[in-house]
Every structure is written in structure tokens, then in C-alpha cells.
Structure 1
Amino acid sequence: MSVDETVEAKPRRRGSRAVFGTVIAVVVLLLFGVPWATLVWSGNAWPAPVFIAGTALFLLVAAGFPVLMLRGHGGHSDAAARAADVLLGVVWVLFTWSVIGQAAGLLLALAGVADPMRSRAVTAGVLVISAVLLVWGYAEAMRVSRVRNVEVTLPRLGPGLDGLRVVLITDTHYGPIDRSRWSRGVVDVINSLDPDIVAHTGDIADGQVAQRLSQSAPLGDVRAKYARVYVTGNHEYFSGALGWVEHMTSLGWDALHNRHLLVSRNGDSLIVAGVDDRTAAGSGLPGHHADHAAALAGADPSLPVLLLAHQPQQITGAVDHGIDLQLSGHTHGGQMWPFHYLVRIDQPVLQGLSRHSDRTQLYTSRGTGFWGPPFRIFAPSEITLLTLRTPTPTPTS
């Protein structure tokens, strides 16, 4: 880089930081400002001490929130991360229901209900609904995921593999909240399903292997008749991807780093392939990028292919390479309503089984764990049992 290019790069970096800082400031202002306006200001006509105390509380928490986020997720402080994540979940719910509450307030105004009764009714409604959803959402996030049963017909699947049981877990996100007992419970459920193949499609953890050893240790006890397979998610590339690939290998899992293996039963075979997450190329790790051609190199093109790819958006590559079924996670099903509307801007599918070509289907899990805020609202977690089926023969007349 020349001296001129260096001089030009510095203003660009400063400009990028300024834009980023402005965006963060606007987001924080909205997230905390809308609930403040609804609960404290608006037409509530609270006594002056209540108004001052409420305003001071919102200002204090809003100012502390970015600091906690930076120390927690940037500085790797689990205590700060826990506080920031809980706070993010609480303010998201308050923001969502404050917006809905403001709309309800307009309806009450049209019905002739005057302030301060109208605004105080809205405030009470927002607080009660938010409290109920947060308690319920926390219980949903912390419980061992329910099993979701799905049958998938693959036209090219040989009869010897009919009924093959594939258990999918994804987005376990072992993180600042110690969920070692939860992890053990998930493994107990997996083993109870008597799987032929167990797949983990990434985002194992937020943190380095050494930080999350106790939470990830139960994965070593997962049982499967034919294969335990894993691919990286985007969060591995924030948390030492090479370490997690090596750790999963040490636990007895096959890390499908742009490669495949063969599963055979009763004379028929299935290719089980995996590709890196689509963000891997930007990580700077040599050889890490989503490479479907490498993953399928040397594979018999007549055999059906089960592909592990972390993000549903990677379905384009699966269609281009004639994949029969892609398994993905990443979306969390939105995790906290109505965040799913934002997820759909980035991803083609939110959750469930979908078809993307005559041959290619995609199953997107809502995720087994959670990221960040320890809440799941209208987006339950899942351990998925996929039963693969051959087509039912068409009766002849």
C-alpha cells in the first residue's frame, strides 16, 4: 500500500466507525426511547418524582447497555455478557409491546377514553404482557428442546435406507450462561431416539473451547449407528473455528470441512456431505470457505446426497450441485417475536421443510439452544428427528 493509499484509508476507517457509531446510537435510542415514551412520558401524568425516577432509570440503563455489550461480547466477560443479553431481551419485548401499545392507545382515543386513564391503561397492558412473555420465554429457552418429527421423501433414496433416522441439532450456542445440565439433557434425548446419523449444523458455542468445555463435553456421549457429523456455523469464526473443529473431532465427530462420507445399509448408500459456513471465507483461515465441489469430489453422482450447511441461504449452492436434502439452522425461527421479520430479509426460509428445485429440499431447524437473550418467544427450540423415506410405489392397474 502506498503512502497516499494509507492516508486515504485512515479517513475511510474513521468514516466507517462514525457510521457504525451513529447506527448503534439510533438503535439504542429507539429501543429505550419508545418504551420510555410509552411507560413514563406519553399522557400518563405521573407525579414529578415518578417521572424523574423513571427517566433516570431509562437513561442509566441505555447508557450502560453498549458498555455491557462491548465488555461482554467484545471483552469476553461472561458476567457482562449475561447482563447485556438479559437486558437486550427485556428491552426488545418492551419496545415491541410499546409500539403495539401506542397503536392500542390510538384506538382507545377514538373510543373516547381520555388521558391519563388511556395512557395508564396502555402502560399497565405493556408491563403485564411483557412480564408474562419474558417469564414464559425464559422457561422456553432454558428447557431441554422438544423433539420435532419430520418425514422426508427422497426419490433417489434406495429401499435399503428407507426409514433411516437422522437427528439434527444446531445452534447450541454454549455461552455465558452455564448450561451443562441442559447439554446433558439434550444428549439423553438424542440417544433415546436411536439415531442412525446425528448431525450438528454449527454455532456450537460463543467462546473458545477452553471456556465451554463442560457445556460441550456431553456431545462426546452422543450415540449413532453410522455417523456423527458436524459443520461450522458463523459463530465458530468468532470463537476459534479451528479449535472447535479439532474439539469435535476429539469427541468422535466427523467434521465435514468441505468433504463427505458414505453411509450404507442393506445394499444402498447415502452420501453425507458438509460445507463450511458462508461467512468462513471472510475469516482469513486458509482453506475455510463453502466449497460444494470439494465436498462432493469423488462421490458417485448417482447416489442421493444429504448436505449439512449452516445457513438456509446456502441452498443456492445445493441446488446448483444437485443435492437431495440440505440440513440447516441459523435462523432460530426468529427466537423472539417479531424478530423473524428481520430474519426473513436475510434468509429464504425461517423454519421447516421446503422445496427449492425438482430434486433439492431444505430442512431448517429453529435451533436447539439460543443466542444472546435467554428467551424464546413464539419460536420454540427443537431436536429434530428426520425419517428418510423412499417414494411409495405407484400401484399399477
Structure 2
Amino acid sequence: MTDTSHTRTAEGATQQPRPSRLHRLLRYIPLIAPVLLWVVPCGVLLYTGQHWPLPVTLIGTALFVLGLIGMPLAMKRGLGRRQQDGAAIVGATLLGASWVLFTWSVLLGVLLRLALTVAGVGESQDRARTVTWAVLGVAGVLLAWGYAEARRVPRVRRLDVQLPRLGAGLDGLRVVLITDTHYGPLGRARWSARVCERVNTLEADLVCHTGDIADGTAERRRAQAAPLATVQATRARVYVTGNHEYYSEAQGWVDLMDKLGWEPLRNRHLLLDRGGDTLVVAGVDDVTAESSGLAGHRAHLEGALNGADPDLPVLLLAHQPKFVDRAAADGIDLQLSGHTHGGQIWPFHHLVRIDQPVVSGLSRHGTRTVLYTSRGTGFWGPPFRVFAPSEITLLVLRSPHRPTSA
């Protein structure tokens, strides 16, 4: 087979392969996506047979044009160099609203029209307006409900996880996972305190935070993160970096978490002993750490396990689920991750699956490794959660060697 990985020019220089059509198309997604998010709902709601009065059509069109222009401008001001929280809130809210409108314009624009056709309702102005009001009604209800879901204190999700190598002395170990708190432009210091209060009701032996603490630097979000100092655990509170830390001076977050009493597991481990048995609790930096350019930041599993007895069970903290390929190759017993938010706003989880092997829940990989992927404790960007509820997770570790009750 001919090697086409590169070709030589006449001068002997190496010529890089041309990007595929798919990769060239992906470059334009940041430009195409906002247009689709606003143009499709505009067409479905205003221009598909409704024949609205001219003022309604003009005002409606103007609102969609303002959204199309305002959303990227607000997000640029909010997430760019200026870091204007007010602009970030506006841009993120418009992004979430446009996604919900787009989704239900497509679904109801097709499905409801199909249902009306089957029911014998022909093309008419009344039929077109029925679709419009249905889309607006569903979108309005979902946005209101999604906002309440995003802002509430998460419910506790409890599950038992059996690990074949876990010693009997560690049976019943209570591990609480919080992740993706994303303290950000919407001030959530009170919410943060209530989350910590709920964590403290779970009587955890080990509390883990698997990254994406905030959007913004530690200095800007310190007040929202401060309640993390009140979290209680009988053994340890441990933390690893997420990708968003590397957008916001990651070392500042590592230092702040250390000051708040959390132990940053940056490619290292600690030993948790109970009842004569030992669990290795390890952590790695996020997979994006190395590209950040920060000295010493990278996902290094070998370093995290350096010096650990290979016969001991390992609980690994890694922000992104896709790290599980490396974890499974190394025989890790349990990996805890976040990052996906469960998709956050349905049906975005289908796009998440392009990048991650799992969107949420418990899954098995390789011959030994169990992965738990949390839907996240907070939310990123759009202040909505639609069919992807947030969670605080209580994992009770179970040993196959525990004595059976009489």
C-alpha cells in the first residue's frame, strides 16, 4: 500500500496533507451555526404560510435579526478579553433560547404538520399559525422549566458500585462527587453554600470535585467558591482540574482549592486506609492541560500512580470521560468524570457523543474499569437544563468480599 501520509516536493521539503472536505467544513460551523439557530425558527414562525399582518412580520423579523447579531457580539464581549459578565449573561441566554427555539421549530414544524396532514387538516393559514403557537408555547415552557432546573440545588443520585479488587474493610466507603460547578457571571454564592450543605448531609468519607469549578479567574469567582471550604469528609477532599480552569489561570484555581482545604491531585495519588485495606485515590490534570502552555500541567497517569502498589484498587479522578481509554489500558478500577453536563439542553447530548464515549451514568470499559460520568452540579453558559438534570452523586463502594448478613 502506498504511504500517503506526506509527499515530497522537488526541493525535498515535506508537504502536509490537505485537510479533508469534512475538516474544511467544520471550520465554518462557528459561522453557520448561529445563522441556522436564528434563521430556521424565523422561517418556521413567520414565513411558512401564516400570513401575519405586516407589523407582526416586521417586528418578529427584527427580533430574530437582533438575536442573530446580538448573540455573538455579547458572547465575544463576555468571553473575550473584556470579560464583561453582563454581556456573557445576555449572550449565553440568547444561545440557550435560540437552541430551544431551533430544536422545537424543526421538530414541531415537521411532526405537527405531519400529524395535521394525517388528521385531514390541509394547508391553511390556521394550520400554519397552530404550528407557530405550538412552537412558542413548548419553547416558553421548556425555557422557564429549564431555568428553574439549572438554578436549583441538585438532587442526590445514589448508587452502589461493586469493585472486584476492593477489600472488605473498604466496603461501604461513601464517595461524594460534585463537578462542573461553573461559578460564573450569574452570582451563585448562596447556591454554592446550599450545595455544600447538601453534600454535608451525606456523611461522606471522600468528597471529589472533578473540575470546571468556574468560568473566570479564582480572584473573580472567589466569593462563589468560598463555601467549598465548609465541605466535610471523614478522610479527604480531593480535586482535579477541568478544561475551563485552563481558560482562566488554572494555577490560581489549584492554589485557591489548596487554601480552601481541598487536596489537588495533580498527577499524584493518596492512600485511603480503612479496616486493614487500602484504596489508591489518584488524579490527573485535564487532557487539555498540556496545550495550555503552563509548566508542569498535563494529564500524566503514570505519574499519578508512581509508587502505588499495583495490586491495590484505584479510584481515578479525570475530568473528561474520554480519558477512560487510558484508564482501562492501565487497569484502573473506577474513574470518576464530569464535563458532559449530560448534554445540558436536549438534544445536545447527541453532539456530545461525537467527542465523548459516555454522556452520563455508569459504564464498563475493558476487563476491569468502571466509569461514572456525572451530569454535573452546575451549568455552563446558557442558564438552562432541559431533560438533563444536575446532580450530586453518592457512590457507595462495595466489595465482593464483604460478609453477608444473616
- Give deviations 1:99-128, integer Å, cap 9, x for gaps: 012112244245333221111000010011
- Give the counterpart letter for 2:187 in structure 1: D
The aligned residue for residue 49 of structure 2 is: 43
2:327 and 2:27 map into 1 onto residues whose CA distance is: 37
Q: State the AA in 1 paired with 2:72.
A: P
Shift of 1:61: 1.8
Are the counterparts in 2 of residues 109 and 118 from structure 1 also a CA contact under 8 Å?
no
TM-score, length-scaled by structure 1: 0.93
Give distance in 2, aligned partners of 1:114 and 1:66.
36
Q: Distance in 2 between matches of 1:23 and 1:137?
A: 26
Counterpart code for 2:42: W
Residues 51-80 of structure 1 show CA distances to partners (whole Å, capped at 9, x for unaligned) of 111111111221111100100111210000
| Aligned residue in 1 for 2:361 | 352
| Contact map agreement 1:199 1:228 (CA 8 A) in 2 | yes
Contact 2:168/2:402 (<8 A) preserved: no
Q: Trace 1:58-73 onto structure 2 (pairs within 5 A).
A: 58-73=64-79
Does 2:373 correspond to 1:364?
yes
1:32 aligns with 2:74: no
- 1:94 corresponds to: 101
C-alpha change, 1:375 and 1:298, in structure 2 (3 Å) is same
Secondary structure in 2 aligned to 1:260?
strand
- Equivalent in the alignment of 1:160: 169
Counterpart amino acid of residue 135 in structure 1: A
Any gaps of 5 or more consecutive residues in structure 1?
A: 1-11, 13-17
> Which moves more between the two structures, 163-172 or 281-290?
281-290
- In structure 2, what is the equivalent of residue 105 of structure 1? 113
Other structure's SS at 2:392 match: strand
1:180 corresponds to which residue? 189
Question: Offset at 1:335?
Answer: 0.5
Aligned counterpart in structure 1 of residue 209 of structure 2, from 191, 197, 200 = 200
Q: Give the AA of the match of 2:76.
A: L
SS at match of 2:180: coil
1:3 is matched with none
Q: Please list the CA deviations of residues 172-203 of structure 1 after superposition, one character each: whole Å capped at 9, or x if unmatched.
A: 00000001111000000111101000000000
Which digits, 9 at most, give the CA deviation of each residue in 1:82-141, with x for residues without a partner? 011111111111000000121122442453332211110000100111111111111110
The amino acid across from 2:372 in the alignment is: Y
Amino acid at match of 1:29: V
State the partner residue of 2:5.
none
Q: What does the per-residue CA deviation read over 1:226-254, in whole Å, with 9 as the maximum and x for residues that have no partner?
A: 11000000000001100000100011111
Give the secondary-structure state (helix, strand or coil) at the position aligned to 2:124: coil
- The 1:291–1:239 alpha-carbon spacing in structure 2 relative to 1, beyond 3 Å, is same
1:172, 1:393 → 2: CA distance? 35
Native 8 Å contact 1:170 1:365 kept in 2 = yes
Q: Distance in 1 between matches of 2:402 and 2:303?
A: 35
Separation of aligned partners in 1, 2:322 and 2:29:
25
| Partner Cα separation in structure 1 for residue 403 and residue 87 of structure 2 | 60
Question: 1:21, CA displacement in angstroms?
Answer: 8.0
* Residue 252 (structure 1) aligns with: 261
Is the 8 Å Cα contact of residues 89 and 185 (structure 2) preserved in structure 1? Answer: yes
Is 1:314 aligned with 2:320? no
1:85 equivalent in structure 2: 92
Structure 2 residue aligned with 1:327: 336
Tell me, what secondary structure is at the counterpart of 1:173?
A: coil
Q: CA deviation at 1:20?
A: 8.3
Q: CA deviation at 1:394?
A: 10
Residues 173 and 371 in structure 1, CA contact (< 8 A), matched pair in contact too: yes
Secondary structure of 1:303 counterpart: coil
The 3-state SS of whatever aligns with 2:316 is strand
Q: Following TM superposition, where does structure 1 have runs of at least 4 consecutive aligned residues deviating by more than 4 angstroms?
A: 18-22, 392-395
Indicate if the aligned counterparts of 2:339 and 2:376 stay in contact, CA closer than 8 A.
Answer: yes
Distance 1:269 1:337 in 2: 41
Alpha-carbon distance in 2 for matches of 1:98, 1:117: 17
Q: Distance in 1 between matches of 2:75 and 2:155?
A: 30
- Map 1:132-281 → 2, pairs under 5 A: 132-281=141-290
User: Residues of 1 paired with 2:346 and 2:32: CA distance?
Assistant: 21
- Cα offset, 1:393, TM superposition: 6.8
| Structure with greater proportional helix content | 1
Give the gaps of 5 or more residues in structure 2.
1-17, 19-23
Alignment of 1:294 onto 2:294? no
> In angstroms, what is the RMSD of aligned CA positions?
1.6
Among all aligned residue pairs of Structure 1 and Structure 2, give the percentage whose two residues are the same amino acid.
60
CA distance in 2, matches of 1:394, 1:353: 25
Q: Distance in 2 between matches of 1:392 and 1:44?
A: 68
Partner of 1:24, secondary structure, is: helix
Q: Residue 386 of structure 1: CA displacement?
A: 0.3
Of 347, 356, 371, the residue aligned with 1:338 is 347
Give 1:48 shift: 1.0
The code of the aligned residue for 1:160 comes to G
Q: Letter of the aligned partner of 2:79 in structure 1?
A: H
> Does 1:117 find its partner at 2:126?
yes
Q: How far off is 1:357 after superposition? A: 1.9
Report if the CA contact (8 A) 1:165-1:387 is conserved: yes
* Partner AA of 2:43 in structure 1: A
- Distance across 2 between alignment mates of 1:290 and 1:209: 21
User: Across the two proteins, how many residue pairs are aligned to each other?
Assistant: 379
Q: CA deviation at 1:40?
A: 1.2
Please say if residues 211 and 241 of structure 2, whose CA atoms lie closer than 8 Å, have aligned partners that are also in contact.
Answer: yes
